[in-house]
A and B are shown apart, each in its own frame.
Chain A
Amino acid sequence: MTGLIETEHLTRTLPSVVPVTLVRDVTLRVAPGEFVALTGPSGSGKSSLLYLLGLLDQPTSGTVRIDGRDTRHMSEAERSGFRLQGIGFVFQFHFLLPEFTIRENVEIPMLRLGRLPPSAIRRRAEDLLAQLGLAGHLAKRPDQISGGQRQRVAVARALANDPPLILADEPTGSLDRKSSGQVFTILQSLSRAEGKTVIAVTHDLSLAALTDRQLELVDGALTTPG
């Protein structure tokens, strides 16, 4: 996988008495290695679009193509497999599993993929955490480290299976200014140094300025061509 992601007339409508359209006719293309910010006011559909791109949600109409592969007719198991190998998620809330150490949290996606032997999985988790400045916290549980550190663990977990595509949903939303800058710098380096495609939702324009391109959504639709 290269991380090329394309959508065509992507629409997501929640069925209800009065249907709510979250994402409206979005057509975009994000090239491999590109760092893109999705901006827009609250409720504009940024996160909804990200979930569609990450195959966590399914569109009402339109298509999502990853590396040219149409994902419309994928089964739930295929979409899960795609996420496991090719997509790393970082959410606003870290969502680390509280019963496990931070090293174990990073190991879990690799253990599920089962591509590496246990010793290599352990080494890679330690390397990733060390790269993110968490070498001294390997045996700690999520509640024993700071919010910024937890979010960096979440980034390490997203990178565990070395996916070409990173999707970040307001990853700095619950962090202070300093930690926010650190996390965004990490995402930037993933794109620039490692060639990963990164799409990050943010409404912090100063952070969005660090990306290659900004796409703004208003009422679920892109204000400029994607």
Chain B
Amino acid sequence: MKLLLMLAFAHIRGRLRQMTVAGLGVALGVGFSIAMAALMQGSQQDFVRQLVDAMPHVEVLDELRRPAPQPAEQVFAAAEFFGLRPVDDQRGIRNPAAVEAALRTWVPGQIAPALRIQAVARFSGREAGVVLYGVLPRQEAQVSSIARDFVVGSFSELAAGGNNVIMGRALADKLGAALGSSVSLVTGSGQARDFRIVGLFHTGARSRDEGEVYVALKGAQTLSGRPNAINTIRIRLDDPARSQEVAARAEIQIGQKAVSWEEANQAVLEALTIRNVIMYTVVAAIMLVAGFGIFNIVSTITHEKARDIAILKSLGFPEADMRRLFLLEGLVIGAVGSLLGWITGYGLCLVLVSIPIKLEELGGATRLPLAWSLLHYVLATGFALMAAGIAGYLPARRAARLNPVDIIRGAT
């Protein structure tokens, strides 16, 4: 191998300019791949972080994953039922205090029960459909990201007693209300009650800022006519990555549906996977283009060095050596190009991360989210070496098959 390396470097030295161009092609390919991967993964991590941050990691609902069998189905082995009047399902989590206590014994995180109902908020002739959460303020503050997004007030304002409500600033603006305004909340069953605005939040997510209101749990229970009822238990885990495991265990233990944040956002996560597939396809395409450069130069060398191939074969170098020699030349370009690409990629990442971006929702300048990972460098190099290997192997195979007699005859 040392001898083949010596021969390969001699060929490379003889074609240094073209080799440099081919190597720069690889370097740019690797560099841009690294930067793109860092940007894509960074934005994905940022997106998922915001997603995870904005919602409970696990939510226990007052639903069953499969509808409960009707009593008639349990008694009669009929193939089909007609005109069966199903038993009304009582909504809400049964024995909420016991369920919550059971979860607290093992769940690694914070737990907050809530009653979620659909309602309409009315103020001075304007109205808006909202999701009304009846919460326990102290516990809610531990599981909700809104606790960090208050413009005015906090969840503790709900604990002060009275009919108080917290809503998004956008919703208040939409209704024309302000802090201290008295807003009427009407449930689907027609029950209404006035609540005074004691807090405003701004998360940056329009659906939340315009669509969620928070009142004390008792207030919601009274408004909905369901005393002591809760229909969701929201869990914020110390480690969000364990959400599926916790959801599965909670569902088995409680018998009611428990949804992890991954399950709730399955479509989004799948879209991110597709985005990654697209990214790696683009990376492969970039490397393919770089591979053409290597193919071109190695082909040229094999053509130019036909005499050398003939003489080396006449000296006793087998075809396998010739294949290895030119494959090695392709790989050397790929390796040197990759090393330069690492520097290029790192430099590009530094440039990208230094660009300030002004986002109104976030209220100021921010930076592009970049993920710094050695894996990006390893993957880009892997792609580059694979492309270089293939690009080197094709002309190498052709060179190895050259008949030395034809070349010697042609040369003499």
Contacts and interface: CB of A to CB of B under 8 A. Distances in A.
27 contacts: A47-B412, A56-B404, A76-B318, A76-B319, A77-B319, A80-B317, A80-B318, A81-B316, A83-B314, A84-B315, A87-B316, A89-B314, A89-B315, A91-B314, A91-B412, A93-B411, A93-B412, A95-B411, A97-B308, A97-B311, A99-B11, A99-B13, A108-B312, A112-B321, A113-B316, A157-B315, A169-B412
Given A95-B408, A99-B13, A157-B315, 10 more contacts: A80-B316, A83-B314, A91-B412, A93-B411, A99-B11, A108-B3, A111-B3, A112-B321, A113-B316, A161-B316
Interface string B365-407: 0000000000000000000000000000000000000011100
Interface in A188-211: none
Interface string B250-274: 0000000000000000000000000
Contacts of B126: none
Contacts of B405: 51, 56-57
A71 interface: no
Interface residues of B, number: 28
Interface of B is mostly: helix
B312 to A, nearest CB: 8
B10 interface: yes
B412 A97 contact: no
Contacts of A93: 411-412
A166 B92 CA distance: 98
Contacts of A91: 311, 314, 408, 412
Given A51-B405, A100-B10, A109 B412 contact: no
Contacts of A54: 314
A171 to B, nearest CB: 11
Contact of A170 (B7, B307, B318, B412): B412
Contacts of B308: 97
B331 interface: no
Interface in B277-321: 307-308, 310-321
A107 B307 CA distance: 18
A112 B315 contact: yes
Interface string A89-117: 10111010101100000001101110000
B409 interface: yes
A11 to B, nearest CB: 16
A108 B315 contact: yes
B14 interface: yes
A173 interface: yes
Nearest to A87: B316
B247 to A, nearest CB: 61
Interface of B: 2-3, 7, 10-11, 13-14, 307-308, 310-321, 403-405, 408-409, 411-412
Contacts of A83: 314-316
Most buried by A among B3, B316, B408: B316
Nearest to A97: B308
A56 to B, nearest CB: 5
Contact of A95 (B3, B311, B316): B311
A85 interface: yes
A70 to B, nearest CB: 19
B315 A99 contact: no
Contacts of A80: 313, 316-319
A109 B403 CA distance: 19
A81 B313 CA distance: 10
A106 B320 CA distance: 22
A56 B403 CA distance: 8
Given A54-B314, A77-B318, A95 B307 contact: yes
A173 B408 CA distance: 14
A95 B310 contact: yes
Contacts of A92: 412
Contacts of B315: 83-84, 89, 108-109, 112, 157
